[in-house]
Amino acid sequence: MSDRIPIILDVDTGTDDALALAYAVRSPRIDLVAATTVAGNVSVEKTTANTLAVLDWLGAESVPVHRGASRPLVQPHRDAIYFHDEGGLGGARLPASRRSVGADRGPAAVIRLAFQRPGELTLVMLGPLTNLAIALNVEPRLADWLRAVVVMAGAYTVPGNTTPAAEFNVLVDPEAAQQVFAAPFRDLVAVGLDVTERVALTRDDWDAVNPGSSLPPPAALLAEVGKFAFSALSRDQFSLHDPLSVAVAADPSLIQTENVTIEVEPVEPERGRTRIVGPGSVRVATSVDAERALHDFRSTLELPTAGRRGLESGTE
């Protein structure tokens, strides 16, 4: 359908990246043009295999996947297996994909697609910003060829989630983040922990997809990728960092923003801290309609709600 927003997703799949892919595939507002992968939550070999497996699971075998950077620009890669488990998908058992990755690598694919459709594509970055920094270095005109860029990156008025100062995607590659925040995009939106931590699934959501019977693919995906967080780690909440960022690309009215300049701290002990240093052209998310975002996510993925509704309405 021509009125869908054409989107490229850059992912480090990743449990919440997997749900973001499901959201993009299922949203009637989105045309998922391609996915590019990067080293982040796990190695790029794993994020690529996971991305292919998740898309195939969702019946989106036609979405091309392009492998991207295997390490950050400057420092060695650090992963997030403490939250996403060794394989990156929270213990999910999905069939391995049998298809191949696209011929060109992540940054090259973004440049090619943006060149072919100038002013049309929205790029949503859900991992470390390495691929976009490389692409901008190779082709600075990319900043003008993209209609919009949404990055899930940073913590502006709240503590970090990986160190007290830093959010994971920025901490893994602060030099890339600094270059992206300084680039002259038409429209750059930074979606940080300030808003993403307010949009979280609960244990009730996970319980509702674990009835042991057959479920539609997106609900079954949640049952699988939620295992590590809700069962092994006994978490009560699962923040929808990456799905919210995709939703914002399709429906900007979910958030309020402020126009700022962002600087990234390059050295320890606060390496990766994102600071608002004054007015500027980056639109940083300051608040979110969390209720609407959650409702939109649950309905887009067609998650079962009967159990939760029963509890909420006091019918238990």
Question: Is 144 strand, coil or helix?
Answer: helix
In what order do the strands lie in the sheet containing 122-125?
65-66, 30-37, 5-11, 122-125, 148-152, 188-191, 282-288, 255-264, 274-279
| Stretch of 4-12, 172-180, 194-202, 284-292 lying at the interface with Ca ion (CB under 5 A) | 4-12
Does 17 engage in binding with Ca ion (CB under 5 A)?
yes
Question: Is 216 strand, coil or helix?
Answer: coil
Contacted entry of Ca ion, ligand BDR, none for residue 80, CB cut-off 5 to 8 Å set by kind: ligand BDR
Contacted entry of ligand BDR, Ca ion, none for residue 161, CB cut-off 5 to 8 Å set by kind: ligand BDR
Exposure of 270 by Cβ count < 10 A (0-12 exposed, 13-18 middle, 19+ buried)? middle
Residues 121-150, interacting with Ca ion (CB under 5 A): 126-127
**Residue of the chain from 46, 198, 241, 283 that contacts ligand BDR (CB under 6 A):** 241
Does 126 engage in binding with ligand BDR (CB under 6 A)?
yes
| Stretch of 10-18, 178-186, 260-268, 276-284 lying at the interface with Ca ion (CB under 5 A) | 10-18
| Stretch of 50-58, 160-168, 226-234, 307-315 lying at the interface with ligand BDR (CB under 6 A) | 160-168
* 161 vs 179, beta carbon nearer ligand BDR: 161
Contacted entry of ligand BDR, Ca ion, none for residue 224, CB cut-off 5 to 8 Å set by kind: none
**Residue of the chain from 27, 37, 41, 47 that contacts ligand BDR (CB under 6 A):** 41
| Stretch of 15-23, 52-60, 100-108, 203-211 lying at the interface with Ca ion (CB under 5 A) | 15-23
* 241 vs 283, beta carbon nearer ligand BDR: 241
Task: Give kind and range of the element (H or E) at residue 65.
Answer: strand 65-66
Give dist(CA 47, CA 309) in Å, integer: 35
**Residue of the chain from 14, 87, 226, 304 that contacts Ca ion (CB under 5 A):** 14
Task: Give kind and range of the element (H or E) at residue 33.
Answer: strand 30-37
Per the annotation, the verdict on 241 as an active-site residue is: yes
DSSP notation for 262-283: EEE--STTSTT-EEEEEE-SEE
* 145 vs 172, beta carbon nearer ligand BDR: 172
Shortest CB 61 distance to Ca ion, Å: 22
Q: Which of 74, 61, 18, 66 is nearest to 44 (CA)?
A: 66
| Stretch of 2-10, 12-20, 65-73, 179-187 lying at the interface with ligand BDR (CB under 6 A) | 12-20
- How many CA atoms are closer than 13 Å to the CA of 102, on its beta-carbon side? 23
Centroid of chain to Cα 280:
24
Does 130 engage in binding with ligand BDR (CB under 6 A)?
no
* 122 vs 245, beta carbon nearer ligand BDR: 245
* 41 vs 122, beta carbon nearer ligand BDR: 41
CB 48 within 8 A of CB 37: yes
* 17 vs 205, beta carbon nearer Ca ion: 17
Give dist(CA 289, CA 198) in Å, integer: 9
- Token output for 142: 């990319």
Given the residues 66, 77, 84, 241, select the one marked as catalytic.
241
DSSP notation for 48-63: HHHHHHHHHHTT-TTS
Strands 282-288 and 255-264: antiparallel
Compute CA distances 203 → 132, 207, 213, 219, 222, whole Å: 35, 6, 18, 14, 11
Contacts with Ca ion by CB under 5 A lie at: 12, 14, 17, 126-127, 242
Binding site for ligand BDR (CB under 6 A): 14, 16-17, 41, 80, 126-127, 152, 161, 167-169, 241-242
Q: Which residues are part of the catalytic machinery?
A: 241
